[in-house]
A and B are shown apart, each in its own frame.
Chain A
């Protein structure tokens, strides 16, 4: 064993050592054996918890809702659902938005949720719903659109509209 002599490191070796070093340090810090450091709370919450949110405006383009035939050989009809854009003014904890679309006559009850983590405008997307064409008996269907702020502690309706859904050829 001679005296320690730093090896000549090129940029590649440096980058590799840097990666390995940072990975090791992070892993050690993430260990439950090291108290007081929690790395996995850093990201935004992905599941609903306690909390509340205030909402200033909800925008759903209800005029664009309609039923139209599926394209590209799908051979079904689709209820084309609009997005809901929600202006969130305040968030505490991990509440979520529940955007729900119901057409009772077609037994459609479809919803999408989004856990809130920050203020500002947020969009909740609702996928189109397939309907067998033979189930479409009339030209118009009554539907209800609701948006709720929900958590383990609150459940508040912030948007509630009835909509007429037109069947287009």
Chain B
């Protein structure tokens, strides 16, 4: 016996702990695989929204080893490049967090495409993941047949993909890497929600919420459209999970600090979103933490400080100031020239001074307006020293915070004073006044929160619940409320979740409704948090726990009959694109209404009969929309997997 065995044991321990930290348990891993395998089915290699060009080009340039954009690999036009910024004579990209974290995927894909056909490699990856999913699922259910059938299906899919394969150019690796990162983020959302709810209410509630979070919310829609929203959603879900798990006295300071670390990464992705989460997290965390001794706080502060290092370094390199983000720079507009080899440069002979009084005009197809904090960007002369910049930033910090509050305040005034506008954001779209539909050929494809996530309608029942609690309250029970909040991690997490949903919504309300949101995508990062709220309603969680099978059955049946039924209905109705989307909108509103009714009756009668089925059905209605919009409604790029292209051509809708 040498010391080989302790080493092996240690390796195993590290592996177990790493697995635990990433997935929680085997169910978490299965959920992750399931979400990635399912959502990647409608992966399309192409640009759905124009400023994805900018982010994909950022990936390529970061991989080349510099933060500024020198080479344009993906170009919409030979003229202006939407979504880019300028800093002096440099062209600057956006979403550096996503770009940098995509780099491992980029290298992987570059290596793979050098050795084998990219299209075949993608098909191979999918089938291997699908077989791994089948193996995990078969093991969990203790049904070997599931593993066998799943593996054979994966094999069949691979052979069919190879039979139908067409070449996929290796120049797509930058975009593919970004899409892979977003896909993984969608999986993280599901795992985080699963772990969060299984910590609070047991595994069944966890699994149900995990499935719904990634497949029944617009996370599914954006999972392979590499906008920032799914990544934001994943980070915010991690904040919530780390917060909830760190409320127990025995939990480590590092766990608590990881909530802050997620905020640090979020700042790198989108500073305003991070700031909003941060201002909610700090007071709730300090007020509800099991202990606030100096050591714990030092750990938390250190981890947070480390987590903002990439953010600060990127800003320093790009804007010269640690807290001035690339989005605060003036838009590139038409200032750049694109060479025939894809080299991009700014004419330095006639430097156009950036004009801080005009907000950058997005090009017609540029869907993402600059972040809420973009208009206070200023011209930058020579790079000031770090210290000088820090002093300047600290002086500017109150101004920035007050601007944030302006947005939030404006959002609050919309909530209080403009119910019609609020209705167009949350309830019914149709053709919304104020949205520029000409960008999308006058098609009414912009859905509201409830129309794209009918499951979230159940939250309407929450005030009823509170009302009953208040009516039933006695003086003693009211007096127990502060103690309950101080001691119960569930109430504490409710507080954080509620704060995040409210603040996030208020931040974006002044910009909504807006074109090219499709599923109110600005609010997508808060949707899994809102789903947490749905799962916390006692009637819902009890029903999901006791009638888990009914939930699963209802979800599966609703998804399948939804997809088949809508396709059948559409071959008869022959809708235009806008009509198809509005058909889903009305269908989802109807399902949401029924689900709310079932939940309300359950709350009033103190009997959760039918709630699990209703929740599953509402989830299935959402999934129906995302499957069909993923495969059929929107035409752009090429499907990553040939069999899905074949299926899409087979469907007789568009």
Contacts and interface: CB of A to CB of B under 8 A. Distances in A.
B443 interface: yes
A132 B442 contact: yes
Contacts of A26: 120, 124, 158, 162
B578 A76 contact: yes
A45 interface: yes
Interface stretch (B144-152, B385-393, B468-476, B598-606): B144-152
Given A16-B135, A19-B131, A72-B583, A40 B431 contact: no
Interface in B549-589: 573-579, 582-583, 585-586
A129 interface: yes
B93 interface: no
A107 to B, nearest CB: 12
Contacts of B147: 12
Nearest to A31: B116
A72 B586 contact: yes
B491 interface: no
B166 A43 contact: yes
Contacts of B283: none
Contacts of B163: 42-43
B152 A72 contact: no
Contacts of B575: 71-72, 128
Given A23-B127, A40-B120, A73 B162 contact: no
Contacts of B119: 40
A16 B154 CA distance: 10
A42 B164 contact: yes
Contacts of B117: 30-31, 39-40
A22 interface: yes
A16 B165 contact: no
A46 B159 CA distance: 19
Contacts of B98: none
Nearest to B154: A19
A76 B151 contact: no
A27 B162 contact: no
Contact of B148 (A12, A43, A127): A12
Interface string A18-55: 11101100111011110000011111111000000000
Contacts of B642: 43
Given A12-B144, A72-B582, A46 B441 contact: no
Contact of A70 (B131, B164, B578): B578
B578 A130 contact: yes
A15 interface: yes
A20 to B, nearest CB: 7
Contacts of B135: 12, 16
A40 B131 contact: no
A131 interface: yes
A74 interface: yes
A105 interface: no
Contacts of B166: 40-41, 43-46
B461 interface: no
B638 interface: yes
Interface string A64-89: 00000011111110101000000000
A138 to B, nearest CB: 19
Interface in B141-193: 144, 147-148, 151-152, 154-155, 158-159, 162-168
A45 B642 CA distance: 12
Given A26-B124, A27-B116, A74 B167 contact: no
Contact of B576 (A20, A30, A73, A130): A130
A11 B147 CA distance: 10
B78 interface: no
Contacts of A125: 654
Contacts of B152: 15
A17 to B, nearest CB: 10
Nearest to B164: A43
Given A16-B151, A73-B586, A23 B158 contact: yes
Interface residues of A, number: 41
B576 A40 contact: no
Q: Is the interface of B mostly helix, strand, loop or mixed?
A: helix
B128 interface: yes
Which one of A39, A74, A75 has the highest number of Cβ atoms from chain B below 10 Å of its Cβ?
A74
Nearest to A128: B576
B502 interface: no
Interface string B626-654: 00000000000010001001000000001
Contacts of B155: 15, 18-19, 22
A31 B170 CA distance: 13
Contacts of B429: 73
Given A12-B148, A43-B165, A75 B431 contact: yes
Nearest to A126: B654
Nearest to B438: A132
A73 B158 contact: no
B444 A39 contact: no
B121 A27 contact: yes
Nearest to B115: A31
A74 B128 contact: no
A11 B444 CA distance: 51
Contacts of B442: 76, 130-132
Given A15-B152, A18-B155, A27-B120, A72 B585 contact: yes
B158 A22 contact: yes
B169 to A, nearest CB: 11
A128 B577 CA distance: 8
Contacts of A73: 428-431, 444, 582, 585-586
A128 B152 CA distance: 41
A133 B120 CA distance: 48
A130 B574 CA distance: 14
Contacts of B138: 12
A16 B131 contact: yes
Contacts of A31: 115-117
Contacts of A32: 115
20 contacts: A18-B155, A23-B128, A23-B158, A33-B115, A40-B119, A40-B165, A42-B163, A43-B165, A71-B575, A73-B430, A74-B430, A74-B443, A74-B578, A75-B431, A76-B442, A80-B574, A127-B577, A127-B654, A129-B441, A131-B442
Interface of B: 115-117, 119-121, 124, 127-128, 131, 135, 138, 144, 147-148, 151-152, 154-155, 158-159, 162-168, 428-431, 437, 441-444, 573-579, 582-583, 585-586, 638, 642, 645, 654
Given A40-B119, A72-B583, A76-B578, 20 more contacts: A12-B144, A15-B152, A19-B131, A20-B128, A22-B155, A23-B128, A27-B116, A39-B162, A42-B163, A46-B638, A70-B444, A72-B579, A73-B429, A73-B444, A74-B576, A74-B579, A75-B444, A76-B442, A80-B574, A130-B576
State the 7 A-B residue pairs at the shortest beta-carbon distance, nearest first: A73-B430, A128-B576, A130-B442, A72-B582, A75-B431, A30-B117, A15-B151
